[in-house]
Amino acid sequence: MLVSSATARATMSALESRGFQQLLALPAVPVNNARQIRYPVTVTTKPDGGRWYLRSYGTTFDLVDPDRRGGRGRWYSLGWGLVDRRQVAELLLLHVGTADAAELDDIEAELASGFDEVDGFDAASRTSERRPGRWGAELRACAVLDRMPGGGC
């Protein structure tokens, strides 16, 4: 993926050094997709009435299919997205597969440490959520790394 900001490049490096695998930042996926990927915002297209998920800020997303979520993977995607219906150039989505509470504590501490090392990373733009998974807890997090030029989000 091409990224334009130094913050994005440094964030990707910090994540990859901590075992995260980069996934494509798909800007939109059909609601009924085979991999069950989903994002927080849903739109209906005209004239066919198709329903699509749009890559957007929030923690109600799935970056990988349920079979992969059952493992102990760590994934991220970085690219275009929406925040409050406005475009951002670099939206980071993180997804940590099944882990126990202590392991998630360690991962969150690792992430906080990694993000502290990144110049320009705005911790206030980040949110995260733990939720039950098939075989334990999962973690979702998102952050805005670079806003759109010209007064975007």
Measured in whole angstroms, the distance separating CA 42 from the mean position of its chain's CA atoms is 16
Confidence of residue 126 (pLDDT cuts 50, 70, 90): confident
Provide the H-helix boundaries in 17-141.
Answer: 66-69, 101-116
Q: Is residue 122 scored above 60 in pLDDT?
A: yes
Residue spans of the domains in the chain: they are 6-147
Pick from 38-47, 77-86, 93-102: least confident: 93-102
CA nearest to 118, candidates 99, 95, 92: 92
Pick the CATH number of 6-147 from 3.40.50.300, 3.30.930.10, 3.30.1360.10, 1.50.10.10: 3.30.930.10
Question: Each residue of 37-81: pLDDT tens digit?
Answer: 999 999 999 889 999 999 999 999 999 887 776 667 899 999 999
How many C-beta neighbours within 10 Å does residue 92 have? 27
- CB-based contact 63:93 (threshold 8 Å): yes
Predicted TM-score of the model (pTM): 0.86
Average pLDDT (122-146) is: 83
The identity of residue 63, as a single letter, is L
